[in-house]
């Protein structure tokens, strides 16, 4: 008798936390954020956190979502594909209803497989590698634009605005940078440009003088670097120190004021950047309000367009949950595929998503770094 009682008591005690768990799940809506909080891209990852945290707090203060509070679950992938797979599994285990992330395509690629297997609703703010949406994942979306759109824009800019004939393209072997480089090469050749130099750097290097010496000798009218800002800054600095007179064009991963610091003002001035418009240049009231709130909260402006994209991703998730009154991944995904059209995004108009999950349209523009190191919109656009 007493043994039976003990067993009953034990089983009650042991299952109690499970019930408590269920209760708690019903109260909060967990949303995952995966990004590089440390490592080379920590600047972007920490910005993701700031941007999304701001919106989560605002939503919670206004009564939450469907009457429930939102809990943000943050995981650090350090921009590394191995760690990305690990933390993606942790987010799945934490039972989030949707995930924002990762920053770089190299990390998003393995993570997206895991989210897909778990049936999660997943939006990347910034991973633009074309291949990511070619796998038939039904619940994976982007709020950024495809590399091949930027490649086309870059080719048009180098051809039409810079009037270059012989051009070089340099990437860093990452999924993203190589994709952008390949697309740009294809479009540039279609436009009749000669791609006379095409090569990659190793982003772990500190010294790029060997390849810069070659670039200098190739007599290029323009060179397009598709990699990230730290290497972009070093390339500009070392090319200046070697005394090379090059017209540098950088892709959107170099759209970062830190690049100017690394390069030094004199070496950075005159560099062009193809990118989504900076927060300060987006003219929508939604964007202006977000920038103002961000400045009030953190005493700094959201300098990176990717922080805006992370906020955009959160807004899309919030909007989908509000409209469908559901947190079911499949319902949310179908809503984005079929019903979400012509929204006022904070990075520009959101026309909708195609069947692969790619955001429709494009918003790319060309910037130039001026003498005081500021990014200003280039007066001539293609």
Partner 1 sequence: MQFIQQLINGLTIGAFYSLVALGYTMVYGVLKLINFSHGDLFMWGAYLGLTGLNVLLALLPQAGAWAILPVVIIVMTTVALVGVLVERVAYRPLRTAGRLAPVISALGVAFILESLARNIYGASWKTYPTGITPTGRIALGGDARVSVMQIVVLAISFLIMGALYLFVQRTRTGTAMRAVSLDHDISRLMGIDVDRIIAIVFVIGPGLGGVAGMIVALYYGSFDFTLGWTFGLKAFIAAIMGGIGNIPGAMLGGMILGIIETLGAGYISPQWKDVIAYVILIIILIFRPTGLLGERMAEKL
Question: Interface residues with partner 1 (CB under 8 A)?
Answer: 37-40, 42-43, 173, 199-202, 204-211, 213-214, 216-217, 230, 233-234, 237, 241-243, 258, 261-262, 264-265
CB of 78 to partner 1, least distance (A): 9
Q: How far is the CB of 250 from partner 1 (least distance, A)?
A: 16
Q: How many Cβ atoms sit within 10 Å of the Cβ of residue 219? A: 10
Q: How many residues are there in the chain?
A: 382
List phi, psi (to 5°) of 327: -115, 20
Closer residue to partner 1, CB minimum distance, 151 or 227: 227
Query: In terms of CB distance, is 97 or 234 closer to partner 1?
Result: 234
Q: Report the nearest approach of partner 1 to the CB of residue 129 (Å).
A: 19
Instruction: Supply φ then ψ for residue 230, to 5 degrees.
Output: -65, -45
Q: Whole-number minimum distance, CB 243 to partner 1, in Å?
A: 5
If the CB atoms of residues 158 and 230 are measured against partner 1, the closer one turns out to be: 230
Nearest distance from C-beta of residue 191 to partner 1, angstroms: 26
Give the CA distances from residue 376 to residues 156, 272, 287, 366, in Å, rounded to whole numbers and listed in that order: 19, 10, 18, 9
β-strands 222-225, 248-250 pairing: parallel
Task: Output 202 or 381, the one with its CB closest to partner 1.
Answer: 202
Q: How far is the CB of 110 from partner 1 (least distance, A)?
A: 21
Sign of the four-CA dihedral 270, 276, 253, 255: positive
Q: Is residue 120 helix, strand or coil? A: coil
- DSSP-derived letter for residue 223 is E
Which residue is listed with tokens 């008591």?
Answer: 9
How far apart (Å, rounded) are the C-alpha atoms in residues 33 and 100? 5
Shortest Å distance, C-beta 297 to partner 1: 20
Contact 140, 211 (CB under 8 A): no
Scan for tokens 């999660």, then name that residue: 120
Per DSSP, the three-state class of 123 is strand
Complex with partner 1: residue 210 or 361, whichever CB lies closer: 210
Rounded to whole angstroms, the Cα distance separating 129 from 262 reads 26
Q: Which CB atom, from 204 or from 325, has the smaller least distance to partner 1?
A: 204
What Cα–Cα distance (Å) separates residue 277 from each residue in 153, 233, 284?
A: 13, 20, 12
User: Which residue number, 119 or 216, has a Cβ lying nearer to partner 1?
Assistant: 216
- Closest approach, Cβ 261 to partner 1, in A, equals 5
373: its two tokens: 């190191």
* Cβ–Cβ under 8 Å, residues 165 and 194: yes
> Taking a C-beta distance cutoff of 8 angstroms, is the pair 161, 154 a contact?
no
Least spacing, CB of residue 187 vs partner 1, in Å: 23
- The C-alpha atoms of residue 316 and residue 339 are separated, in whole angstroms, by 12
Task: Please identify, using beta-carbon distances, which residue of 30 and 50 lies nearer to partner 1.
Answer: 50
Nearer to partner 1, 54 or 170 (CB): 170
């Amino acid at each position: 008798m007493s043994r039976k009682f003990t067993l009953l008591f034990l089983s009650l005690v042991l299952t109690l936390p499970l019930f408590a768990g269920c209760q708690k799940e019903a109260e909060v809506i967990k949303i995952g954020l995966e990004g590089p909080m440390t490592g080379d891209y920590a600047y972007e990852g920490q910005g993701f956190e700031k941007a999304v945290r701001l919106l989560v707090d605002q939503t919670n203060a206004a009564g939450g979502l469907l009457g429930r509070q939102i809990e943000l679950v943050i995981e650090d992938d350090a921009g590394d594909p191995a760690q990305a797979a690990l933390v993606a599994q942790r987010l799945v285990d934490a039972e989030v209803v949707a995930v924002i992330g990762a920053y770089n395509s190299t990390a998003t690629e393995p993570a997206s497989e895991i989210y897909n297997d778990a049936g999660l609703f997943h939006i990347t703010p910034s991973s633009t590698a074309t291949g990511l949406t070619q796998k038939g994942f039904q619940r994976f979306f982007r709020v950024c634009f495809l590399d091949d759109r930027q490649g086309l824009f870059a080719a048009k800019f180098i051809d039409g605005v810079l009037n270059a004939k012989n051009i070089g393209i340099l990437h860093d072997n990452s999924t993203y940078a190589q994709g952008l480089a390949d697309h740009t090469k294809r479009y540039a050749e279609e436009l009749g440009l000669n791609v006379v130099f095409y090569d990659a750097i190793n982003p772990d290097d500190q010294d790029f003088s060997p390849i810069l010496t070659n670039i200098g000798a190739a007599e290029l009218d323009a060179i397009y670097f598709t990699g990230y800002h730290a290497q972009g800054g070093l390339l500009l600095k070392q090319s200046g120190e070697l005394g090379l007179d090059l017209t540098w064009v950088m892709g959107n991963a170099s759209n970062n004021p830190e690049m100017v610091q690394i390069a030094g003002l004199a070496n950075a001035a005159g560099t062009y950047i193809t990118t989504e418009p900076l927060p300060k240049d987006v003219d929508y009231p939604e964007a202006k309000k977000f920038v103002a709130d961000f400045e009030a909260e953190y005493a700094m402006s959201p300098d990176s367009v990717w922080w805006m994209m992370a906020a955009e991703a959160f807004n899309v998730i919030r909007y989908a949950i509000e409209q469908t009154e559901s947190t079911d991944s499949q319902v949310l995904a179908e809503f984005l595929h079929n019903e979400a059209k012509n929204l006022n995004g904070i990075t520009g108009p959101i026309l909708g998503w195609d069947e692969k999950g790619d955001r429709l349209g494009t918003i790319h523009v060309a910037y130039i770094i001026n003498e005081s190191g500021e990014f200003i919109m280039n007066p001539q656009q293609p």
